[in-house]
Structure 1
Amino acid sequence: MPKKPKHPCGFPGCPNLTETRFCPEHTKEMNRQYEKYYRNWSSKQKYGRHWKRIRDRYASEHPWCEECLKEGRYTPVEHVHHRVPLRQGGSHDESNLESVCKSCHSRIHAKLGDRFGK
């Protein structure tokens, strides 16, 4: 099946062609700018370097989506989800974490109503 044609990078003045919004060089730069200027300060405190270590360790110990495993499917993990959100008193304890794929993570948050408007 043919792929979509590449388009110019979204960074002003960049002539590189890419399949995503920005070329790999400018993706890193735009991510750095987002983290520095636009990301909420409170989420930086909750999800810092410490969380990355916890998340990576948990994902390596649980490489399959736990929701899909309940249905007998083997889907690689893409996110580590807090069963009880941090803003509701949850923690980074292993008992509060769950490895999930992207579709299961979206489904969980859609059921909770805390994404895409309430």
Structure 2
Amino acid sequence: MPRKPKRPCSYPGCPNLTDGQYCEEHRRLAAQQYNKYTRSPDSNRKYGRAWKRIRDRYAAAHPLCERCLKEGRLTPVEEVHHIVPVSQGGDHRESNLMSLCQSCHTKIHLEMGDRQIRG
């Protein structure tokens, strides 16, 4: 039975031909890059169905970005943020939550140093 023709490796700039998506040389490297930004395995315990219900209930009660509201702007909520992150012992109590727009949420995480600007 005839086989499919080999095609170029999907790794940028690689001229090698392969049967799969990547050549042998780049298969492991591509897998490492793919898994670089995955959440930890216990994240479902932290952010499961219960968190979605809590988040939706909080966003309904606080429909505007709390940070923008202090500055006099009326921006709809896009994210519900943990003031003390769950990874640092925070919980889902209403006193630990704040509603934010995407821009303010990104600014807070940049200030905390747990996100970087891509450019």
**Both proteins in one fold, TM over 0.5:** yes
Partner Cα separation in structure 2 for residue 90 and residue 63 of structure 1:
22
Gap regions ≥5 residues in structure 2: 1-37
The separation in 1 between residues aligned to 2:39 and 2:93, in whole angstroms, is 24
Highest CA radius of gyration, 1 or 2?
Answer: 2
TM-score normalised according to structure 1 size: 0.65
Change (3 A) 1:87 1:39: closer
Indicate the residue corresponding to 1:27 in structure 2. none
Cα deviation digits, residues 17-73 of structure 1 (max 9, x gap): xxxxxxxxxxxxxxxxxxxxx543111110000000000000000000000000000
Query: How far has the Cα of 1:111 moved from its partner?
Result: 0.2
Shift of 1:76: 0.2
- Identity of aligned pairs, percent? 65
**Does 2:72 align with 1:60?**
no
| Residue 10 of structure 1: aligned partner | none
The one-letter amino acid paired with 1:116 is: Q
- In structure 1, the partner of 2:76 is 76
The aligned counterpart of 1:95 is 95
Q: State the AA in 2 paired with 1:89.
A: G
Superposition TM-score, scaled by structure 2 size? 0.64
In structure 2, the partner of 1:115 is 115
User: For this pair of structures, how many residues does the alignment match?
Assistant: 80
Stretches (4+) displaced over 4 A: none
Q: CA RMSD in A?
A: 1.3
